[in-house]
Amino acid sequence: MERSAIMFVCAFALCVTSPPFCGASQGLTTDQRVAALIEQMLKADTEQRAFSDLESLGCAAVPAVIQRMDDRRSLPDSRISLRNKSPQAFEGIRHYGPQQVVDALAAILNQLTGQDFGFIYNGGTNEERTKAIQGWRKFLKTTPARTLCKAG
């Protein structure tokens, strides 16, 4: 049984880090994909790809990201770059220095929804992070799913 569990974890990691090997119908829920990508954020060699893959899940991932947001683990590399979609943008790419998973998730959620509940994208205090998490959770609870990424 231990061997089959190891094989499942390896196959799961391959699907998350290399989606073309698994196809679109790989049988994972959005929540499972978000969870796996968050784990990939914690490894230096897969962190940047995990950020990109999480963003590419789009609006459908917003609820799962918010549910897993209170993750205070440290990131191996405190850099994230996101394409600036704002019509008032003065730069094409936004660069941040998140220190913890929660910081990076807040930046990705802002990218997907246009919402902001505290600027913790470059790190913050525990109080600032808690306030941002509470803001995101209230947003999720009070915003209809079809408008999560249009509420901005």
Residue 131 has pLDDT above 80, yes or no: yes
Supply the pLDDT for residue 98.
92
Supply the pLDDT for residue 64.
97
Q: What is the mean pLDDT of the chain?
A: 83
In the structure encoding, which two tokens stand for residue 75, read together? 């990131």
Supply the pLDDT for residue 68.
96
For the segment 1-29, the average pLDDT, to the nearest whole number, is 51
- The reported pTM is 0.79
Instruction: Mark 104-123 as b/e (b = at least 16 C-beta within 10 Å).
Output: bbbbbbbbbbebbbbebbeb
Supply the pLDDT for residue 150.
74
Residue 152 has pLDDT above 50, yes or no: no
Domains in the chain: boundaries: 2-147
Residue 123 has pLDDT above 50, yes or no: yes
82: β partners: 94
